Amino acid sequence: MSFDDPDVQLMLKVKEGDDKAFEKIVKKYQKAIYNFAFRLLTNEADAEEITQEVFLRVFKSSLHYEPKAKLNTWLFTIAKNLCLNRIRDNKFSMSFSINNDKMNYEIPDTKLNPITSLESKDLREAIREAIVKLPLTLRVPVILCKYHGMTYAEAGEILGCSENAIKLRIMRSKEILSKFLKDFL
Amino acid sequence: MDKGDDILDKTWDILDQWEDKRPPRRLKHSIMKRVRPEKKYYLPFHLSPVYSMLIILVLVIMGVSYLKFDSTKEYNQHVPDTRMASREDSVEITSPDIIAKLEIIENIDMLKVLDQLENIDHLSITPEDDQSSIILVRGSV
């Protein structure tokens, strides 16, 4: 990583205890991280909480910051990990409640044809539902590459896989999404 | 480009319709608020070599000053003793006193051995006079 990179400069200032520099980082990336979390979790409160947690972790880690990776990549890696943990926790707590409390939760019907259920909804809602229906291994690369302008290599770095793996996942996602959104094409 | 690829590209493009959401206004404020308590424990750790050097320096100074104080204290304690000793030296001591103060070997085994040595009769003891006579003879030659 080049020391001339403005993000690196900001992080080095944060390391020295510069509050203003940290505020600049928050201002620059809060929208991206919030939207990434929101698209993954589809819950505003969770997205807000995750965004706060991401920046808190960045601040704590700034003491040992070394300009090895791009700040952008680092932020999204933390956000991705936190979101996946949240999804896992939510699934666990839901199944735990069902098993233990014998309560009736509204579980989405996977047998329902997605195309017919989307017909009456507007395009934005249809896209949201289609992306949410993607498995996580496909959903994250789509969000990173489509909505955050990441290259396959950058997305691969965040997800810990190769550029080619991301390329294939994007291709697969396109195929699935085209089926879900057939009525809008 | 075939029809299949065209559909996939259209699908990809249509995803843009899900626009970014504006984060709540309070988000930045909340983040800064959560970060503030962390600042209490925030020390510029990149200065840790400087801190450690300062600590070592302070410890060395403290150690040196303690040793100095200790040696001064020891010196002050020894001064009256030496004075007393010098006074004792100046007292006139007679030979019977010295003899009385001599350490006497009271080891019984030692005394027995000495007795045995005295009673040995088979050792040929050359008289001193003979030795001296030999020397004299040589000298005359």
Whether the predicted pLDDT of A98 surpasses 50:
no
**A157 min Cα distance to partner chain B (Å):** 22
Nearest CA among A94, A126, A121, A92 for reference residue A107: A94
Mean pLDDT throughout B21-37? 90
What is the reported pLDDT for B114? Answer: 80
What is the reported pLDDT for B86? Answer: 54
A53-67, A166-180, B103-117, range with the lowest pLDDT: B103-117
**A85 min Cα distance to partner chain B (Å):** 20
Chain A and chain B share a number of CB contacts under 8 A equal to 96
User: Cβ B12–A146 below 8 Å, yes or no?
Assistant: yes
Tell me the pLDDT tens digit for each residue of B49-91. Answer: 788 889 999 999 999 888 888 777 777 776 655 555 555 556 6
Instruction: Indicate the DSSP class of residue B9.
Output: H
Residues 46-85, chain B, touching A (beta carbon < 8 A): 46
Mean pLDDT throughout A155-159? 95
Instruction: Indicate the DSSP class of residue A112.
Output: S
What is the reported pLDDT for B82? Answer: 55
Q: Are A132 and A117 in contact (CB under 8 A)?
A: no
What is the reported pLDDT for B106? Answer: 59
Closest residue in B to A131 (Cα–Cα):
B15
Q: Which of A17, A34, A55 is facing B42, going by the closest CB pair?
A: A17
B45 touches chain A (CB under 8 A): yes
Which residues does chain B have within 8 Å of residue A59's beta carbon, measured at their own beta carbons? 35, 38
Structure tokens that stand for A40 in this block? 């993954």
User: Cβ B20–A30 below 8 Å, yes or no?
Assistant: no
Euclidean distance between CA atoms A121 and A103, whole angstroms: 29
Place A100 in a pLDDT band, splitting at 50, 70 and 90: very low
User: Cβ A31–B23 below 8 Å, yes or no?
Assistant: yes
What is the reported pLDDT for A53? Answer: 96
**In which residue are the tokens 């709540």 written?**
B24
What is the reported pLDDT for A29? Answer: 96
**A103 min Cα distance to partner chain B (Å):** 33
Tell me the pLDDT tens digit for each residue of A38-89. Answer: 999 999 999 999 999 999 999 998 888 888 888 999 999 999 999 999 999 8
Q: Are A114 and A133 in contact (CB under 8 A)?
A: yes
Nearest CA among A15, A23, A31 for reference residue A63: A15
What is the reported pLDDT for A3? Answer: 73
Q: Which of B14, B17, B31 is facing A55, going by the closest CB pair?
A: B31
Residue with more model confidence, A110 or B21: B21
Tell me, rounded to whole angstroms, the distance of Cα A37 from its chain centroid. 5
Tell me the pLDDT tens digit for each residue of A116-146. Answer: 444 545 888 899 999 999 999 999 999 999 9
**A101 min Cα distance to partner chain B (Å):** 35
What is the reported pLDDT for A2? Answer: 72
User: Cβ A52–B21 below 8 Å, yes or no?
Assistant: no
Closest residue in A to B18 (Cα–Cα):
A124
Nearest CA among B39, B26, B32 for reference residue A48: B26
User: Cβ A23–B28 below 8 Å, yes or no?
Assistant: yes
Closest residue in B to A179 (Cα–Cα):
B11
Euclidean distance between CA atoms A132 and A41, whole angstroms: 8
Q: Which long-range contacts (CB under 8 A, 24 or more apart) does A12-20 make?
A: A12/A65, A12/A67, A14/A59, A14/A62, A14/A65, A15/A62, A15/A63, A15/A65, A15/B44, A15/B46, A16/B44, A16/B46, A17/B39, A17/B42, A17/B44, A19/B32, A19/B39
Across chain A, mean pLDDT equals 85
Place B122 in a pLDDT band, splitting at 50, 70 and 90: low
Report the phi/psi class of residue B19: left, alpha or beta, with left for phi > 0 and alpha for psi in -120 to 50: beta
- Which are the contacts of A87, defined by CB distance < 8 A and separation ≥ 6? A40, A41, A136
Which residues does chain A have within 8 Å of residue B46's beta carbon, measured at their own beta carbons? 15-16
A13-22, B69-78, B111-120, range with the lowest pLDDT: B69-78
What is the reported pLDDT for A1? Answer: 66
**B51 min Cα distance to partner chain A (Å):** 15
Mean pLDDT throughout B106-111? 71
